[in-house]
Amino acid sequence: MSTGGEQRKIGLIGLGLMGRPMGMNLLKAGYSLTVWNRTPSRADELVAAGATLAKTPREVGAACDVLITMVSDPPALESVLWGQDGQKDGALDGLKTGSIYIDSSTVSPALVKKIATACQGRGIRFLDAPVTGGDWGAREGNLVFMIGGDAETLREVEPILKVMGKKLFHLGPNGAGQTIKLAMNAILALQVGAVAEAIGLVTKAGLAGEQLLEVLQASMARSGLIDLKAPLMLKGDYKPSFPLRLMHKDLGLALDLGNQLGVALPTTAAAREVYSYVKGEAKEDLDYSGVMRFWKK
C-alpha cells in the first residue's frame, strides 16, 4: 500500500462512465475508498476490489478526508451535497472541518461559488476540478484536470489527482476550472458538428468521407478530435465515451454563462439546436459524435 493510501481516506460519489474507472485507479494505488451511487449496483465492481459502499452521501463524507464527486449535472450535485427533502443526508453534513472536497462534475461557475461559500462556512477546503479525456482517459488514468481554488490545497491533493490524471492545470480561484471546461466543451461540440456537416456535404456529392479526413489531417484543420471521433462517425459507431446528453447540458451551461457575462455565443447556440434535435430523436444513449445523425436523417 502506498504512503498516500495510508494517509488519506477518500470518498467518491458518482459511479458512472467516469467515476467507476477513477475509483478503480484509486484502489489500485492503495487508497482506502468509500463510495456511494444513487443506483447501488454500480458500486459492485469497486466493492469487489475493496471499496466500502455507504448508505448515504453523508456517510461517505463522514468516512473520508478527501471527497470527490463525479455526477451528471447541477441538480444531481446539489442533491448529493445538501441532501433531499431536508433529510440532512447530504455529503456536506458529513464532512469534517479540515477535510478537502474536489468536484470533478461539469456544472456552472455560479454553483461552484455557492459550494465554495458553504464549504468555507464549515472549514472545508474546496477545489472545482472538472476533467476531459472521456471514459478511456478515466480508465487509463490519463484525464486532464482543470482546477479552480487554492494553490496550497491543490498541492496537498496532487498525489491523489495524479493517480487519475496526467495533467493538472491550476487556472485561478474557485469557478475558473468550470469556466475553462465549459469553453473547451463548446469548442469540442462545434468541431464535431462541423466535421459531421462536412462529411454530410462530401458524401452527398458522391465522394468518400475518408478522402475528406485524409486531406483534413494533412492541413491546418488537423486535430486530435478528428483522429479519435471521425472514423467512428463514418462507421456510425456512437457508443458513448462522452454522452451526447451531457454535451447538450454543457452547451446550455456555456450559453447561461455567456448570458451572465454579456458575451454573445451565436455558434454555440446554433450547435445546441442541432444537439437538441439529435438528443430528442435518439432512442439510446449516444456519444456526442452521434450528432452525425442530424446529417444522416
Tell me the three cell numbers of residue 33. 475508498
Report H helices in 40-133: 44-48, 57-63, 74-82, 91-94, 109-122
Q: Which of 96, 162, 181, 297 is the catalytic position?
A: 181
Q: For residues 37 and 33, give the distance between their C-alpha atoms in angstroms, rounded to a whole number.
A: 13
| Amino acid at residue number 227 | D
Number of H helices, E strands in the chain: 15, 9
181 as an active site residue: the answer is yes
Beta bridge partner(s), residue 126? 101
**Contacts of residue 227, Cβ cutoff 8 Å, sequence gap at least 6:** 217
Q: For residues 253 and 182, give the distance between their C-alpha atoms in angstroms, rounded to a whole number.
A: 7
Q: What angle do CA 66, 143, 267 make, to 5 degrees?
A: 115
So which residues are the catalytic ones? 181
